[in-house]
Chain A
């Protein structure tokens, strides 16, 4: 039920993309018709809107699509914006997986700090869209294809083999799982040395970034 609804929405999106690519003048009409179709689909299957599977599937689809756009889009600025969408999707996944503190950290650190750094550098360097991808040829291609097939089979095997693992109900946890208090308690007791080493790493990174990026004096 849920999966059919998701597949229907994805199909509608692909039809719209195809119409936009092949006949741009009809895009508005097609968008209206397909949008009404999507709303009708949702209205018929309105029970699915209450299931977490539907939302997880939708977020997963958006995450995969935005990741693909990061890789495919020639303009680095658009890539950054799609990467921010992807990071928000992963923060939502963290919320579903009961890691609420990590979800907040993900938005603050990744979307808030690291991505701003990327945006600043791209605007500072005034980067234009690059000409093309490096889809290298030669004998490497066949080796890469072989390795990709092996990887897909390996992942399928690994995921298929553990399918008899029981799913843990979210209610079965102690109440503090994933909270800032629990994470901080662990950080300042069992992982104190690693925590201090991380501060050292951040200092080294900060000094290194300044030294590498600064203009040569004299």
Chain B
């Protein structure tokens, strides 16, 4: 008997007590022998352990079969709810035959697999056939329906037209609501203020009427460029239709603006003319550029031609901002924007502004600027000059 066979016999407990004693005594004294015994015993244990491993793998294969069955059954249940989902026990092979076939390896396994898969596959096939005939039937049915549909086509079109009309009505309603909301927004905005600019050196400032229409407690004109420039102002005149308001600074400290650097254009600006604006959406003045994008303003206004459509970004606080052409002539004043579209602002035309000023009562002294001092200047220098005449209008 070789050493390996001896160790194996020891492992399998086939040795006599005397032999066992001999081995254990030798292991005590011979370290190398003990190591060899230990090593082979471990090897044998691992080899025996393979039994568990193989069994586990077989089980795993079985579980995969169950899983495939489960998926097939689920499909079967969803397509044909009446088939039995729980008939597993009745059709499964008995465990005893399984056990006999198991050790004989792959070929038998395949047979078992086929046996197990036969049912789901046949079910799937029958479902497929069923679906095929259903489709055939459905195709036949739809072709017969098509004829009926032809006759009802006109009616359908009319219905679509009706729907269209109804939708248009809805849109119009929606627009009205939007306009109302816009008006409300403007009212709310007036509590925070907007922009105004000097129109005459006597302390006249123009702004949007909607800023002051609620008869505020006080109106304050403020400049963050000129030192200590914070004066109370009175509403002296307004034109609701054109959304214009004239304010006059009413403060004994106020000594006048001095000469205004810009003039007012009394002709319509050309389409596409380059324009710029200065506004006070915040404490600091904000510069914006754009073009005259249309010679008429908001379509639904009473007199659309009294304002321009401008492509200047317009935001709350811009109301009352002056719109200048490249030479620094005032073309108009920002009044509002279209709520539902971007880049569509509206500005009241300067000739309307001039008209309003000409309507002022004689009690209000007025010297309109006559000379444009900006036309030869670069834009930055223009802005420097203009800044001193653009103010925040704060309404309390």
The answer on A and B forming one complex is: no
